[in-house]
């Protein structure tokens, strides 16, 4: 199959994404406007009949003081990763990015390598000898993903450092997902552990209501998010970031981003943002107050978001990043513990990969990043 690659319009890019069952929210054209500090470009792959068969959103970050760029395709490009001729897809991309002044390329193939169901994770948590997810036998292994990794290595791509739980600008290598395809809502609820089901009932009994918010409610979202940042020791993004995200994503597709609040007696106790691309729904950012935890607002909110995803015809509800640590003393352990209660599965991707087009500058960037 002979492929050609060229820059395409945002409209072409969006039309291609909309023709697919789903794609990462980091690969929709409007994501470039969310990441406004990066320059962006939309790439399209065409077959010999001139049909578009792949697309990629490239973000360019300039190096300080010189006109050379890191080219980044977060959770992309959206191509046929299992094609035996993978080099025919990626070589033209590298040549093009080099022409654009890139000294290094970073991409995140949306290729799943392993899955662990809740039962496997729970047995791992209970085993004192198990410290990491990868020490637990996977419930499902995707052999083709290993072939993809092999092909990338042979082409000179280097596997990046683990994205950990996906905090900051790297994409998470491990995520937690609740599969919805071919399941009834009853099955989904049955999959929740006892504690989750009890907490959902408790919230319902206490009169917790979950509502959708709009642009005008983002300031209230920010209030809860900043409380969360203080409690969990991370640096919050500014309100302007979420306002921009809302505006650009929803002007691309009115259902791309949603905002939810769980409230009790008229007081908002927790909030979340949700992103939707095709059949894939992400719980993107979460926030909660230090008060009102006894009425379990977060469980009520997740259950409502899951039900809404199901009603939209989603095939997967994605709770985003987890760390692969199953050690109860690890500060990120609570995250997997909370998510595993939904009866979903932990999913490992092949991770992010780098191609140094200029080895010297690539090395300099590595040193610069490690000092930050």
Q: What percent of the chain has pLDDT over 90?
A: 88
Residue 237 sits in the same domain as residue 334: yes
Beta strand 52-62 pairing with 69-73:
antiparallel
pLDDT digit string (tens) for 228-270?
A: 999 999 999 999 999 999 999 999 999 999 999 999 999 999 9
Domain that holds residue 45: 4-108+352-370
Least trusted range by pLDDT, from 175-189, 295-309, 331-345: 331-345
Instruction: Give the closest residue to 369 by CA, choosing from 149, 59, 109, 61.
Output: 61
CA distance 14 to 257: 16
Residue 160, CB half-sphere, CA atoms under 13 Å: how many? 26
139 shares a domain with 100: no
Decide: 27 and 75 in contact? Cβ < 8 Å: yes
Percent of the chain with pLDDT over 70: 96
For residues 169 and 270, membership in a common domain is answered with yes
Residues 263 and 360 in one domain: no
**Residues 60 and 130 both lie in one domain:** no
pLDDT attached to residue 66: 84
Do 220 and 98 lie in a common domain? no
Predicted confidence at residue 212, as pLDDT, reads: 98
- Residues 91, 123 share a domain: no
Say if CB 66 and CB 274 are below 8 A apart: no
248 and 337 both lie in a single domain? yes
β-strand pairing of 4-7 with 39-46: antiparallel
Overall average pLDDT of the 298-302 stretch: 98
Block residue for tokens 């990868």: 134
Q: What is the CATH number of the domain that holds 280?
A: 3.40.630.30
Write down the pLDDT at residue 369: 67
* Long-range contacts, stretch 303-309, CB < 8 angstroms, 24+ apart: 303/189, 303/200, 304/210, 304/260, 304/262, 305/260, 305/272, 305/274, 305/281, 306/178, 306/180, 306/188, 306/342, 307/185, 308/258, 308/274, 309/180, 309/274, 309/276, 309/281
Q: Is the pLDDT of residue 224 over 50?
A: yes
Question: Band of the pLDDT at 332, cuts 50, 70, 90?
Answer: confident
Same-domain status, 216 and 289: yes
pLDDT reported for residue 2: 86
In the β-sheet with 69-73, what is the strand arrangement from edge to edge?
4-7, 39-46, 52-62, 69-73, 102-107, 353-356, 158-159
Give the pTM.
0.93
pLDDT at site 334 = 87
pLDDT at residue number 350: 96
Beta-ladder partners of 356: 104
Give the total number of structural domains in the chain. 2
Sequential DSSP letters for 359-370: HHHHHHHHHHHH
């Amino acid at each position: 199959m002979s492929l050609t690659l060229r820059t395409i319009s945002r409209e072409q890019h969006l039309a291609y994404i909309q023709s697919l069952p789903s794609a990462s929210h980091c690969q929709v054209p409007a994501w470039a406007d969310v990441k406004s500090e990066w320059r962006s470009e939309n790439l399209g792959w065409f077959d010999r009949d001139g049909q578009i068969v792949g697309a990629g959103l490239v973000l360019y970050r300039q190096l300080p003081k010189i006109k050379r760029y890191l080219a980044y395709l977060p959770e992309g490009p959206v191509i046929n990763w299992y094609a035996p001729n993978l080099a025919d897809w990626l070589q033209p991309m590298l040549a093009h990015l080099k022409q654009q002044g890139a000294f290094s390329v970073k991409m995140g193939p949306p290729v799943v390598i392993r899955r662990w169901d809740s039962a496997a994770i729970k047995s791992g948590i209970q085993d004192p000898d198990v410290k990491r997810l990868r020490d637990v036998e996977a419930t499902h292994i995707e052999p083709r993903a290993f072939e993809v990794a092999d092909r990338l290595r042979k082409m000179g791509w280097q596997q990046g450092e683990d994205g950990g739980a996906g905090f900051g600008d790297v994409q998470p290598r491990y995520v937690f997902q609740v599969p919805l395809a071919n399941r009834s809502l009853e099955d989904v609820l049955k999959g929740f552990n006892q504690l989750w089901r009890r907490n959902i009932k408790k919230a319902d009994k206490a009169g917790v209501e979950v509502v959708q918010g709009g642009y005008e409610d983002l300031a209230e979202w920010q209030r809860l998010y900043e409380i969360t940042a203080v409690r969990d020791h991370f640096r919050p993004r500014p309100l302007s970031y979420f306002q921009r995200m809302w505006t650009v994503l929803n002007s691309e597709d009115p259902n791309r981003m949603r905002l939810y609040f769980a409230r009790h007696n008229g007081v908002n106790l927790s909030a979340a943002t949700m992103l939707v691309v095709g059949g894939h729904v992400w719980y993107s950012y979460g926030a909660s107050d230090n008060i009102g935890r006894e009425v379990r607002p977060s469980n009520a909110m997740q259950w409502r978001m899951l039900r809404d995803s199901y009603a939209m015809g989603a095939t997967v509800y994605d709770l985003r990043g987890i760390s692969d640590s199953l050690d109860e003393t690890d500060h990120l352990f609570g995250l997997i513990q909370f998510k595993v209660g939904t009866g979903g599965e932990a999913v490992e991707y092949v991770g992010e990969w780098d191609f140094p087009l200029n080895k010297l500058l690539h090395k300099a960037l590595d040193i610069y990043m490690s000092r930050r």
